[in-house]
Amino acid sequence: MDNKDKVVYVVSDMHLGPGWLPNGQLDPLEDFVSGEAFARFLDQIGQSREPVELVIAGDFLEYCQTVPAIGLASPQDDLGSTEDESLLRTRVIVGLEPRRSSGHAVVFQALRRFMMENHSVTIIAGNHDIDLLWKRVWALIFDTIYPPGAWCDLRRVAYSYTLGRGAQGRVFIEHGHEHDRANRFGDLMSQPFGLDRFGVRRLKRCWGTLFVDKVYNDLERERWFIDNVKPILRIVKLGLRHDFIFTAQALGLVMRFLLSSGLPPILGRAMATDEEYAAPNLDALAQEIADPDLARAIMLQLQDPEGRKALEMALEGMDMPPEVVLAGARDALRLDEPEAAEAQPMVLGSLRAGGDDLLLGGAPREDDYRMAARAVLESDPSLTTVIMGHTHTPINGFNDPLRLADGREGYFFNTGTWTQHLRDEAHRSYTWPELADPRNYTTSFTYVRLDPDGAGGYRPSLHSWAEESGER
C-alpha cells in the first residue's frame, strides 16, 4: 500500500476552546470536554502498522469563545481579530497561558504522539477557526503538533481537500460553512483578511461569528446548555415558558444586535464587506422577521409586564427610545390578532425546522448542503463521496444516496461533532429543567472512515467511537 492508499479517518467540530479556569472550574464558554477520549481514539487508530491519516474537517479550534473580549474590540462588524490577537487565543487553546486557563494540551500531545508513529494529519479551516490562516498562528500549531524529523505530513487546508487517484471513488472534504448563509465568507476562504478603517489587517468576520461575539457568548455564560441544542429556536420557545426573564433579556439582546449590526442573511440581508452597516429602522426589521414561531415568541413576551421590562433594560442605550422599539415591534408583528396571541404547548418534538436552522448551522435535512454536495459530484465524475461537518448532525450517506444527472449514485456524509448533545433527541421531548441537567447530554464521537478500494478510490463508513469504545 503506498501513501495515496492509506486508511483515512475524518472528524470535525471539536471546538477546542479555553479549557479549565485556574480555579479548576470549566470555563463557561468551553464546549469540548473529551480530550482524554480523543487521545485514546488517536492511540487506537495509530496502532496500525501502515501509515494512516487523520483529517480534521473544520472547527477543530474555537476561537470566538476564547478570550471573548477580543471579539468585541474590532472597530467594525465585518472584521474580527488581528494576527496578534489570534495568536494569543491560540496560545490559550494549546495550553501556553495557564494564568488564563488550561487549554487542551492533552489533545495536542496526543496528535504529536500520533505523528511520531508515522501518521499524517490534515486540518481544514472552518468558520470557527479561520484564524488558522494567519501565518504565525499556523506556525505555532505546527510547532506544537509536528515532531521534528517525522516522515509524515502535517497540512493546513484553507477550504477543501480531495483524496484518491482513481477514475472513480474519490472523496471531496470540506467543512460546509460556505453553504450556510449566516456563516459563509463568500470566497471559499481564499481572501480571509481585510484592512479596517485604521489600516490594520484583520480576519474577515461572517455574520454568525459576529452574533457569537456580540450576543451568544453573554447568553452562554448564564445558561451553559444553549449551545448544545439545535436549532436555537427550541431554546427560545422553551425558555419563554420556563425561564421567562432570562429569555426575554436574551431576545432583547438579539433585537439590539439586529438593530445595530444588520439583519442576518437568512432574513435577506448580508453583512457589508466594503462599507459600514447602516442600522435598519424597526419597521423594516420587524417586517422581515418572517418566521411565525419567532414572531409569536416576541409577541408573547411583549404581553407580559416583566418581559417588557426585561426588553426595555436590554434595549437601554439605543438611539431610539425603548417604547418606540417595543411599540413598533408589537404593531409590525400583528400582536393584536387573536390567533397570534394564543399560547400553545411548546415541546421539542413539535417544532418544525425553520429558517433559524441556518442561523447557527443546525439543519436536520441540510438541503443546502446536499445541493452543494450534488454540484461537487456532478462537476467531477471521479468523485463519489462528499464529506462535510459544520451542522453537528452525523449523516450516513448510504441511507439517502444522491441520484446524479449522469445516472451515477453519490454519497453525502456528515461527520457530526465531538461536543455534547442531547440524548435520544429524535425520540423524545425535553423540558427546560431537563435541558439544564448535564445528565441528559451525551457524546457520540462520530467519524467517517475511508478504506482504500484497491483502485485509487475509497469506501466510506460512518462510525461512533463512543459505541465502539464504550466511552460517553
pLDDT digits (tens, 9 = 90+) for 187-217: 899 999 999 999 999 999 988 888 888 878 8
Mean pLDDT for each 10-residue chunk of the chain (472 residues)?
Answer: 75 98 96 96 95 97 97 91 98 97 98 97 97 98 95 96 95 95 87 94 90 83 75 60 66 62 47 39 43 57 68 55 46 39 28 32 60 96 97 93 94 96 74 83 94 96 94 74
Cα distance between residue 47 and residue 431, in whole Å: 43
pLDDT of residue 306: 73
Q: b/e per residue, 38-55, with b = 16+ CB within 10 A?
A: bbbbbeebbeeeebbbbb
389, 178 contact by CB (below 8 A)? no
Fold annotation for 3-202+358-469: Purple Acid Phosphatase; chain A, domain 2 (3.60.21)
Residue with cell 477543501: 160
464, 458 contact by CB (below 8 A)? no
Using a 10 angstrom Cβ sphere, with 0-12 exposed, 13-18 middle and 19 or more buried, the burial of residue 444 is buried
Considering the chain, tell me which residue range(s) the CATH 3.60.21 domain(s) occupy.
Answer: 3-202+358-469
pLDDT digits (tens, 9 = 90+) for 156-179: 999 999 999 999 999 999 999 999
Could you tell me the three cell numbers for 300? 408573547
Upstream peptide bond of 322 is cis (omega within 30 degrees of 0): no
Pairing of strands 53-57, 8-11: parallel
Which residues does 453 contact at the CB level (< 8 Å), separation at least 6? 166, 169, 459
94, 108 contact by CB (below 8 A)? yes
pLDDT of residue 435: 83
Taken as a whole, the chain contains a residue count of: 472
Closest CA to 353 of 344, 345, 361: 361
* Residue 187: count of CB within 10 angstroms of its CB: 12
pLDDT of residue 342: 35
* DSSP assigned state of 281: P
pLDDT of residue 217: 86
Sheet holding 446-452, edge to edge: 154-157, 120-124, 53-57, 8-11, 446-452, 458-464
pLDDT of residue 262: 54
pLDDT of residue 167: 93
Cα distance between residue 467 and residue 472, in whole Å: 8
Distant-in-sequence contacts of 460-467, Cβ < 8 A, 24+ apart: 460/171, 460/385, 460/387, 460/397, 460/411, 460/413, 462/394, 462/395, 462/396, 462/397, 462/413, 464/394, 465/37, 465/41, 466/37, 466/442
Which residues does 44 contact at the CB level (< 8 Å), separation at least 6? 469
pLDDT digits (tens, 9 = 90+) for 355-414: 333 333 344 444 789 999 999 999 999 999 999 999 898 999 999 999 999 999 999 999
Cα distance between residue 469 and residue 292, in whole Å: 43
